[in-house]
Amino acid sequence: MKAKTSLSLPEKPWHHYLTIDLILTVLNYTIFHPFVACIIPLCLRAQLTPYEHPAMRLTIAWAFILTVVSVVGLMSDRFAYGAPREVDLSEEVIVVTGGARGLGALIAEVYGMRGANVAVIDVKKFGEDEAEEKGIAYYQCDVGDRKQVEEVGKRIVEDLGPPTILINNAGIVHGKPLLELSPEEIESTFRINTLSHFHTLQTFLPGMLSAGYGTIVTVSSVLAHLGAANLSDYTSSKSALLALHASLRAELALLPQGPNINTILVTPGQLCTPMFSGVKTPSNFFAPIVGPVDVAKEIIRMVDRGESGEIAVPLYARWIRLLGVMPVGLQSMIRAWSGVDRAMVHRAGNGNTDS
């Protein structure tokens, strides 16, 4: 006898999933795509539309503008980041910090399924059976502790080889007002969110420079550009990563093998992970909550292509820096409308890991 299956209705209406990011994605694959734009005047010409016709002139001009913008963008990226490197996963050793769950776990498990050499560094302990099933080597370690990172680094080199891809993803949040944060909580935030990057970079970067290639992914947050009430320790620690990323790129440019090291800065918006559970976005259309899968997909795509660059999702995360050059009165109005300073008021802080 077959068991009955029940189909549950969607929890949210269809228009909940209609966002400005979805609309832009559709446009980027249609009228904003240079190839599609070039096809339109060709189709008009196939219908014997004269060149003097307004529609023909308009579509040719549109195709020309999009092509120029696309070429200039490619040239800008090449000038800023150099040529991409060839990535062969069979030759790479990938280290993911905070890879026990969430974003870090998705990235680690995808590479594990693809047969890459993956090492996850996390405070959580995993059994050998689970590690073997996922094809991932797990190392229990507090990334905020320099000695533990160095010891684990030696073990990874012995077990898998020198790491060539480092994804610094570990992080925590307490979600408390400044005056309610204990000194221990402030210290733990900076140890995990900021100092861990220094520990892993100083441990694994020398091996990349010796090999002559590598990739470093720095996971920050869009809040690093904004700051937010009840997140003073978190936003400060993530903001420090922006300066660290910029300084790292500057130093690598001065080293003989430095330009061969790819650097990727990730500044996502609110992720639907346990870290920010209970936090509601003021506008799902303009500021949708991002799935870890979407961010993981972008990170994996850029790492696989051997590219350097920045990943900012959703759409508003790409333009958030413009807020800083607006008149302060307008900035205050936008902050009040967005609700960024009220989002954490009703959330109890519990130090969830950003993985």
Neighbouring CB atoms inside 10 A of 219's CB total 27
Whether 213 is a known active-site residue: answer no
* pLDDT of amino acid 78: 92
CA 97/CA 142 separation, integer angstroms: 10
Nearest 10 degrees: Cα torsion 76, 22, 304, 137: 140
pTM of the model: 0.88
Left, alpha or beta for 45 (phi > 0: left; psi -120 to 50: alpha)? alpha
CA 36/CA 124 separation, integer angstroms: 49
CA 287/CA 317 separation, integer angstroms: 9
Whether the CB-CB separation of 162 and 188 falls below 8 Å is answered with no
What length does the chain have? 355
Token output for 313: 């999702």
Helices (H), ranges, the chain? 20-28, 34-46, 54-81, 102-113, 128-134, 146-159, 183-190, 196-211, 232-254, 292-305, 315-319, 328-338
CA 266/CA 278 separation, integer angstroms: 23
Contacts of 49 (CB under 8 A, 6+ apart): 55, 56
Whether the CB-CB separation of 231 and 221 falls below 8 Å is answered with no
* pLDDT of amino acid 341: 78
Give residue 313's identity as a one-letter amino acid code.
V
Running along the chain, 355 residues long, what does each successive block of 10 average in pLDDT? Answer: 45 78 92 94 94 95 96 94 93 95 93 95 86 89 96 96 97 93 96 97 97 97 91 96 97 94 94 70 78 94 96 91 89 84 61 50
Pick the catalytic residue from 138, 139, 213, 234: 234
3-class DSSP state of 177: coil
CA 13/CA 85 separation, integer angstroms: 44
Neighbouring CB atoms inside 10 A of 304's CB total 15
3-class DSSP state of 130: helix
CA 292/CA 105 separation, integer angstroms: 10
Class of domain 89-353: alpha beta
Which residues of the chain does CATH 3.40.50.720 include?
A: 89-353
